[in-house]
Amino acid sequence: MAEPARGFQRSEFLRRCGALQAGLRAAGMDALLLTTAADIFYVTGFLTRFWESPARPWFVVVPAKGDPVAVIPSIGAELMGQTWVAEIRTWDAPDPEDDGVSLLATTLGDLVPEQGVIGTPMGMETQLRMALGDYFALTARLAPRRMVDATDVVQRVREVKSEAEVDKIRAACAVADRTFARVPEFASLGRPLDAVFRDFQRVLLEEGADWVSYTAGGAGQGGYGDVISPATAQPLARGDVLMLDTGAVRDGYFCDFDRNYAIGDVAPDTMRAHAALFAATDLALETLRPGMTAADVHRILCEGMRAHGATPGGGRLGHGLGVTLTEWPSFTPKDQTVLRSGMVLTLEPGAQIAPGRILVHEENIVLREGGPELLSTRAPADLPVLE
């Protein structure tokens, strides 16, 4: 598979911006204020790891008509100048007297009439990436303009991926596929888990990840206790299941799937649970269609597990994926988000084998009109054995 070229055509950003603007107008909003790495990358193509520093806020304003305006620290002017965004306003951040608030207020004041409405994401799975005190100062400056929740505007656009985006995520998945194929090189009986985690990240880089924003996993007798703990120096033991999970990044897009391995023989109930997870995933791969809800996917995965004798674990059983490790919707009983063609999703059924012992299986898909297309290479039906 040829690697997709870096970045996107200008037409891709025009399409995204146009779709957001249609959403703004439909919702009666005059402008959209974006503050997070993901939203700003999505609209502008501005890609940097510098977001790791909490020191500076960054803003992009998408007016309901016209071109977006970046209001950013001057340290980012050079890189933002390489994107399609033509209007870039900068200040010398961090500034304890006025960290961009006046510049942003002026920008929004220019673009939005006094009786106008400014949207910014305030809902589930969103965050405001600026100091809360500065947000309050901004809204006071902008009054009588009102700030409202624009979560729907952003999520309905971002959740449907273009083919160019699907290609990026497929390439990130391929990095992880190649890495998982090399796990026998560095994971075996007696190897400490923290060394395995370190090598896992090293090989992800060797196989083409630009950076590795997320790795997780676990190991334990016939299952693991949780999936978010850092690795300890505990050596892999006969009867352990080893799980490795990754959000490797290539060109700003994530993969997010895991693989399980048996260290020697594992307990029969673990093998049965694994078979049930595999079957539940197959069921979802066969039956998911646009128009179903996120809650439907949760139900299908639970039914698939139960039909094979497994007890579904709590929490969500998959989610969206793209410019962040996880995106909405969440496959829970309560999430009524409607699935649409072009959504990139994870199928992540988890089973409770015994108290403190779980097993999680994960694949990445893009939903098409006719059903799911795998972006990850399907896991082997039988748990691979490492000696």
| Contacts (CB under 8 A) with a second copy, residues 352-381 | 356
Strand 117-120 vs strand 146-149: parallel, antiparallel, or unpaired? parallel
Q: Could you say which of 89, 102, 109, 125 contacts a second copy (CB under 8 A)?
A: 125
β 357-360/211-221 pair status: unpaired
**Cβ of residue 248: shortest distance to a second copy, in angstroms?**
12
Cα–Cα dist 126/222, whole Å: 36
Are 379 and 271 in contact by the 8 Å Cβ rule? The answer is no
Please choose, from the candidates 30, 44, 203, the residue with its C-alpha nearest in 3D space to the C-alpha of residue 107.
Answer: 30
Q: How far is the CB of 316 from a second copy (least distance, A)?
A: 7
The mark string for 213-252 relative to a second copy (x by CB under 8 A, - otherwise) is: xxxx--------xxxxxx----------------x-----
| Nearest residue to 258 (alpha-carbon basis) of 287, 278, 273 | 278
CB 40 within 8 A of CB 46: yes
Residue 198 contacts a second copy per CB under 8 A:
yes
Query: Rule CB under 8 A: is residue 86 a binding residue for a second copy?
Result: no
> Would you give the binding string for a second copy spanning residues 316-345, x where CB under 8 A is met?
x--x----xxx-x-x-x-xxx---------
> Is 186 a binder of a second copy (CB under 8 A)?
no
CB of 55 to a second copy, least distance (A): 5
Nearest distance from residue 378's CB to a second copy, in Å? Answer: 24
Whose Cβ is closer to a second copy: residue 96's or residue 268's? 96
**Minimum distance of a second copy from residue 128's CB (angstroms):** 5
**Please, which of residues 95-114 interact with a second copy by CB under 8 A?**
95-97, 99
Residue among 265, 352, 363 nearest 310 (CA) = 352
Distance (Å, whole) CA 376 – CA 174: 7
Amino acid letter, 50: F
- Choosing from 18, 28, 113, 133, the residue that interacts with a second copy (CB under 8 A) is 133
* Separation CA 226–CA 220 (nearest Å): 10
CA 77 – CA 93 distance, rounded (Å): 12
Q: Does 89 bind a second copy (CB under 8 A)?
A: no
CB of 220 to a second copy, least distance (A): 11
